[in-house]
Amino acid sequence: MQPTHRRVRDLGWEPYAWLIYSLPYLFSSFDRRLSGLETSAMLAGYGAFLALYVLGHLVRGWRVLLIVAAFDLLAVGFSPRNPAAATFFIYGAAMLGHAFPPRRAALALVVQVGLGSVAAAALGMPWWYWAMAAVISALIGAVTIQAAAKAAGDAKLRLAQAEVERLAKLAERERIARDLHDVLGHTLSVVVLKSELAQKLIARDPSRAAAEMGDVERIARDGLAEVRQAITGYRSSGLAEEIDRMRDTLVAAIDATIDSRTMPLAPAQETALSLALREATTNVIRHAAATRCHVRFYAQDGSVLLEVEDNGRGGDAPFGNGLTGMRERIQALGGVLRRETGHGTRLLIKLPI
């Protein structure tokens, strides 16, 4: 929707440049055949025209029609003594593009051209007067209506582009939030696990405790690198490496078995499965209170499947940020994610190869 009014400083220089076509009327006002009173009246009319012209560029909607009607009155009133006043019909036609949408503006232009033609006939003006009041008015009016419609379309396009950019930025923020949750959640869970293990071992097996703390340092450094990679969008070092990392994490905490097979995957699929496996491992360690976990990664009927099953507490708690982000990634690739709970939890992810 266009604003109902603007400010003079917003007009720029272009509207004033078009005033050059009003100069024939101004110069004709000083014709020697005119009396001083007539010249004064015409100059006053020109001043009124200038004020209306500026006002016509500031308002919108039906107010523009009032300006156009005033131009028509000036044209009819001064034409008998100064035929160059026909130019006021042209300025009125040029204003119509600001009044209405294109179809209604075109209808108003037809009425305006009709008024110019009637005025030319009623006042007995020469052919060139009719050409100005009707033909040139029609041409100028059509051009300005088309220009106004194009400007409105360009404005809508700019708004659409701005909205696309806003949504893209929002999607990127959500991606980074999901990725940071996955990376930090997993890394911090492993750090806590190994730190607790090191505390228990420090009295009876100092060398093993030192090894565990060395792992803590390594995992923390890896986590920092992964956070940096998450910001730039390159987070996954490969599904095979993620499986090895998961195996080390689970075996250090519970009784775990991993059955995985190598298969070709698209980069996006490999990244999504790597992050899903990382989140599932984190959930088993942090929330499930499980003592056993079984992981399977295999292909079946044209799809790749990832199963993570534990004997933990189960439950039907709503999806948190991690599972929600996991499901969004899988669904974006045309896959499905299912969670079965009861005696433990079974997470099944299926992606088309």
pLDDT digits (tens, 9 = 90+) for 186-234: 677 777 777 888 888 888 888 888 888 888 788 777 777 676 666 555 4
Overall number of domains in the chain: 2
Nearest residue to 141 (alpha-carbon basis) of 92, 68, 76 = 92
Q: Looking at the domain assignment, is residue 191 inside a domain?
A: no
For residues 158 and 244, state if they share a domain. no
Q: Give the residue from 131, 164, 197 where a domain finishes.
A: 164
Q: Looking at the domain assignment, is residue 305 inside a domain?
A: yes
For residues 142 and 14, state if they share a domain. yes
For residues 245 and 155, state if they share a domain. no
Nearest residue to 146 (alpha-carbon basis) of 196, 197, 109 = 109
Q: Looking at the domain assignment, is residue 110 inside a domain?
A: yes
**Sequence-ordered list of residues with C-beta below 8 angstroms from that of 280, at least 6 positions apart, any chain:** 308, 326, 347
For residues 149 and 14, state if they share a domain. yes
For residues 160 and 286, state if they share a domain. no
Question: Could you tell me whether strands 303-310 and 336-342 are parallel, antiparallel, or unpaired per DSSP bridges?
Answer: unpaired
For residues 136 and 283, state if they share a domain. no
Q: Strands, E, within 177-302: which ranges?
A: 255-260, 292-300
Q: Give the residue from 164, 181, 200 where a domain finishes.
A: 164
Under 8 Å between Cβ of 55 and 94:
no
Distances (CA, A) of 12 to 64, 141, 153, 340: 19, 21, 21, 66
Q: Looking at the domain assignment, is residue 170 inside a domain?
A: no
For residues 16 and 156, state if they share a domain. yes
Q: Looking at the domain assignment, is residue 171 inside a domain?
A: no
Lowest mean pLDDT among 159-173, 192-206, 267-281: 159-173
For residues 119 and 16, state if they share a domain. yes
Q: Looking at the domain assignment, is residue 176 inside a domain?
A: no
For the segment 225-253, what is each residue's pLDDT rounded down to a tens digit?
676 666 555 445 567 777 887 787 777 77
- For residue 233, the SS3 value is coil
Residue 332 scores a pLDDT above 60: yes
Question: Could you tell me whether strands 292-300 and 255-260 are parallel, antiparallel, or unpaired per DSSP bridges?
Answer: parallel
Q: Looking at the domain assignment, is residue 212 inside a domain?
A: no
For the segment 72-97, what is each residue's pLDDT rounded down to a tens digit?
898 888 888 888 888 898 888 888 87
Report the pLDDT averaged over residues 44-60.
Answer: 85
CATH code of the domain in which 301 resides: 3.30.565.10
Q: Give the residue from 164, 193, 215 where a domain finishes.
A: 164
For residues 27 and 148, state if they share a domain. yes
Task: Say which amino acid occupies 107.
Answer: L
Structure token digits, residue 131 = 């050409």
- The predicted pLDDT at position 21 comes to 83
For residues 109 and 244, state if they share a domain. no
Q: Looking at the domain assignment, is residue 68 inside a domain?
A: yes
For residues 50 and 159, state if they share a domain. yes
User: Comparing 39 with 236, which gets the higher pLDDT?
Assistant: 39
For residues 159 and 296, state if they share a domain. no
For residue 55, the enclosing domain spans 8-164
